[in-house]
Amino acid sequence: MNAPNVDIALFLEKYSVLKKDRFLISPPPPTIELTEHQSFTICCPHCGLKTSGDFPEDVTHPVQYGSRVKSYQTYLSHHQLIPYERVTEICSDLFGFSVSPGTIVNLTHNLAKKLQSFKDDIVNILQNEPVIHNDETGVRVEGKLHWLHVTCTPNLTHYSLQRKRGKEGMDNIGILPEFHGISVHDFWGPYLSYSCEHSFCCAHIIRELIRAEEETSQKWPYDLIELLLGAKENKEIFHGVGVPIPPIIRTSLMESYDELIQIGLDENPPPVVDEVKRGRKKKGFVRNLLERLKEWKESVLRFINDPLVPFDNNQAERDIRMMKIKMKISGGFRSFDTASAIALIRSYISTIRKNGINVIEGIVSAFHNFPWSPNRTKDISGESLLSQNLALA
């Protein structure tokens, strides 16, 4: 249509032309920006004093990578869990420059040093939380078995690599010795040595009850599973709308719990003492489970009395899953220091994701010596705080 003065809208209306739009989304090709910083030295003609200009704080070498390039490499290796060799290939294909795996290791240690204030903040905050989740898993470091401990909430994550699994390792972390709230965990003994309140993961208990049912063919394990799941439904109904479970329902649940435990104890009596053979006889898995559930009844059913206490320990298991995936990809760590640095970086990445902050921007801020911290978000959102930090940097 060559007529210069034709009204397109009238033309479309008159001839009933159907107009279609198609959009193509395509990012521009990635480019590398080289920024030159110059420092001049001036000599005073009168006194001979030489004065030199200062480079920016983060510019410390004649040639170096900027914070965003370092953040991309950190994001790929420690958030997306891509092996170092493949990260170097990605940098070459996307940006046209190659890095060595050793460079990524150096970036890892450098970032971990910048996250020490974040580490101190999160430990102090977790010590004063009303409810925390705890779990641990084995990892291979320097060819030996070590233990990765996680302490977390829906908004915070803290990983710590320890050479010991038990109380010694937990004391080194420093959270549980100073914690006086409610710790959610499994029945592993060292957790019970701390003076805080305890709540047990009912998902673990249900798995043990399934095993008890398979071993004994008795009915009480099935009934107890149904009781726990029914209690979970009541929690969701009442606590979900911000009201406590009515006392009559809680009393009924606890009385039914006692009855089922007693039935189980009656059907699984302790072993008969043999006067001839010395020593204590093993009670067996089922009897030990029943005695444990009876002794720790209050902690098992704490979730029906406290709205803040969950039914299970899925929060800790979800948070530790990514580190298990890292183990499946890499098989293990060659250095304890590097593994500890990665654990701290993963703590930071997991926490900022929980608080709705873009991972790359959060890492950029940390490389600029302004890591995000929950202590600085009283009256300001994470995103706007991040923007201020970057502007200051």
Q: What is the pLDDT of residues 373-393, one digit of tens each?
A: 888 654 334 455 455 554 544
pLDDT at 33: 80
Residue 181, pLDDT score: 96
pLDDT score, position 382: 47
Residue with tokens 């957790």, as numbered in its chain? 191
Torsional class of 331: left (φ above 0), alpha (ψ -120 to 50), beta (otherwise): left
What is residue 17's predicted lDDT score, i.e. its pLDDT?
59
Q: 136 in helix, strand or coil?
A: strand
Is the alpha carbon torsion for 249, 250, 253, 259 positive or negative? negative
Q: Token pair of 232, please?
A: 């979970």
**H-helix segments, 202-335:** 202-216, 220-238, 247-267, 285-295, 297-300, 302-305, 314-330
pLDDT reported for residue 279: 56
Q: Give residue 18's pLDDT.
A: 64
Degrees (nearest 5) of the Cα angle 56, 58, 63?
Answer: 95
Whole-model pTM: value is 0.84
Write the burial class of residue 158 (CB in 10 Å: 0-12 exposed, 13-18 middle, 19+ buried).
buried
Tokens 């099935």 sit at which residue?
Answer: 222
Closest CA to 100 of 92, 88, 108, 82: 88
Residues of the chain with pLDDT under 70: 1-6, 8-9, 11-20, 273-281, 376-393
Task: Name the residue ranges covered by the structural domains of the chain.
Answer: 202-269+284-312
